[in-house]
Structure 1
Amino acid sequence: MLGAIVGDIVGSVYEFKNIKTKKFRLFKKGCFFTDDTVLTVSLAEAIMTGRDYAYLMREYYRKYPNRGYGYRFSIWVENESMGPYNSWGNGSAMRISPVGFAFDTIEEVLDHAKKYSEITHNHPEGIKGAQATASAIFLARKGVSKIEIKKFIENNFGYDLSESLDEIRPNYRFNESCQETVPQAIIAFLESTDFEDPIRNAISLGGDSDTLACITGGIAEAYYGLPEKIAKKAMEYLDEFLIKTVLKFREKFCR
């Protein structure tokens, strides 16, 4: 799941300053971790400890405020009696990568992706986006080919993955829905050549750059592995609290 964090950090400076090229410095001045990282790490802790994920999301939110959280999510955090709010936003997919690494069958992955997304994102599209992302990660780490991953996602979730990045890029704009983020992030992975390439692909589309790159970064790590140099650089952006959980999760599930 550190690959997802890499994508978030690299994409952080382009979320509201979109670029349409793959030629950029991977880590540049101004990069930071956003809510994507915060909620990903909190899910990793929930999986490892069995602690309540809703509680942990609120706890992490208060520890790391002002990280770009969605308006409705912020309301949910501050109202502890509030249930899920029927969201189809891409927040369910950007935080779900630990599920794809932690469980050993596709059935478990689908069940846990639903469980952890529907706490807030109980709209069918919100759940679907999380399940598709977690499934792609699971299949990638199991050594399934890109052709088979594509076929599985299309057959089970109904996403159209037939467009190329060159076809998507010219008219693609900022969009926070799972429907218009998850397929594009998966295509960015499918057209890639190594770990770094899909992150560049995702950011080159424009749009919700940190989340696109976060989603595809998790899949890329599962498929290609994570270069140590990039992993170490990403860790420099995190504090000791986050690093502790990331290292524990990687030791347990990402060896």
Structure 2
Amino acid sequence: MLMKQKIYNTLYGAIVADALGVPVEFKDRNFLKQNPVTDMTGYGTYNLPKGSWSDDSSMMLCLADSIAKKGTVDYDDIMNNFSRWFNNGDFTPDGKLFDIGLSCRKSIMNYLDGIEPLECGQKSEADNGNGSLMRIACLPLYLYEKFGPDAMESWEAFEIVHNVSRLTHAHFISLIGCDIYCAVMLEILKGTDKDDLLRSALSKVEGYVIEHYKFDKFYLKYKRLTKKDFVNLKENKIRSSGYIVDTLEAAMWCFLNSTNYRDCVLKAVNLGSDTDTVACVAGSIAGLYYGDIPAEWIESIRNKECIDLIIEKFSAAIGDGKINSK
């Protein structure tokens, strides 16, 4: 599969799943057991038309647009894009911001107050929402093109992942969550068998943690992912909150317990709580791995012109050796 198609599947995989989750965000699991999401709908929580995507996709598009524009990861430019989204409603379905997490808001305000990009992010252990994980889907595609299939054996790649997270979420738990996610996506790009994906990804992250002792105790927050029986956990053991550890676990559990994109993202939405973000993260993974995103769901997405232009520019910028390889 061409890289352009992988980019398309990853970004639309995230955006479509995000839009599936938006109408039922904050609904609990018991409600969704009685009223399961089975198709793209509208209105609900935010009273928005069908196909509306949230801050998750907006911030991901900010990142992709910046990489496309600069041909590299430019932290000032990424924060400029976040500011355009925050102030002007750029990178949204209809020119209006309707949802933003507290940590992201504080970090963008820091940037607008003149603080350096890599000092803007929130640093306490209480600041480990999923706001950096939800927007990072295009980064492993860039890392794959820059460093090759074994990107996560490069400390420089880890530093880029950490810095992109640090723009809003600077605590070690958030950095490690983004590491694990990017490592999983890179294993998919490598062609690793599904049964071996998580184990192979975690071995890369563990290699980094061993060499960087400050990460060690926080890596333990993700210990359930390291267990062989993680995939066999019952649904009632999976939490779908906005805490980054819960979101990553839930997304991986939905992916590992599905065989196609549709089933994966509907499973994620119907876990309840932070429905759009859990689905967005799961959807990017499933989109890259499975493809086959239902065409009718893609067609229902609002402001496709913006999305398609960014995908086109991002594909042109990182494909065919156009970025500086190591």
Out of 250, 267, 270, the residue aligned to residue 204 of structure 1 is 270
Q: Distance in 1 between the 2:79 and 2:269 partners? A: 30
Distance of aligned partners of 1:28 and 1:100 in 2 relative to their CA distance in 1, 3 Å threshold? same
Deviation at 1:202, TM superposition (A): 1.2
Query: 1:139 maps to what in 2?
Result: 187
Out of 35, 42, 45, the residue aligned to residue 29 of structure 1 is 42
Q: Distance in 2 between the 1:226 and 1:84 partners? A: 36
Q: Are 1:117 and 1:130, in contact at CA under 8 Å, matched by a contact in 2?
A: yes
Q: Secondary structure at the match of 1:192?
A: coil
Larger radius of gyration between Structure 1 and Structure 2: 2
Distance of aligned partners of 1:231 and 1:116 in 2 relative to their CA distance in 1, 3 Å threshold? farther
What per-residue deviation string (whole Å, max 9, x for no partner) do you get for residues 203-243 of structure 1? 12222110001101111111112436156325x31253343
What per-residue deviation string (whole Å, max 9, x for no partner) do you get for residues 110-130 of structure 1? 343222111111101111111
Using structure 1 for the length normalisation, give the TM-score: 0.87
Q: What one-letter code is carried by the residue in structure 2 that aligns with 1:43? A: L
Superposed counterparts of 1:120-159, under 5 Å: 120-155=168-203, 156=205, 159=222
Distance of aligned partners of 1:110 and 1:21 in 2 relative to their CA distance in 1, 3 Å threshold? farther
Question: Share of identical aligned residues, percent?
Answer: 24
Greater mean alpha carbon deviation, residues 58-67 or residues 169-178: 169-178
Using structure 2 for the length normalisation, give the TM-score: 0.69
Superposed counterparts of 1:43-58, under 5 Å: 43-50=63-70, 51=74, 52-58=77-83
List runs of 5+ in structure 2 lacking aligned partners: 1-10, 44-49, 90-95, 206-218, 321-326
Q: Distance in 1 between the 2:21 and 2:162 partners? A: 26
Query: 1:60 maps to what in 2?
Result: 85
Query: 1:84 maps to what in 2?
Result: 121
Q: Are 1:22 and 1:200, in contact at CA under 8 Å, matched by a contact in 2?
A: no
Q: Are 2:33 and 2:270, in contact at CA under 8 Å, matched by a contact in 1?
A: yes
Q: What one-letter code is carried by the residue in structure 2 that aligns with 1:70? A: G
Q: What one-letter code is carried by the residue in structure 2 that aligns with 1:180? A: D
List runs of 5+ in structure 1 lacking aligned partners: none
Q: Is 1:245 aligned with 2:293?
A: no
Aligned length: 253
RMSD, matched Cα: 2.7
Q: Are 2:257 and 2:264, in contact at CA under 8 Å, matched by a contact in 1?
A: yes
Q: Is 1:213 aligned with 2:238?
A: no
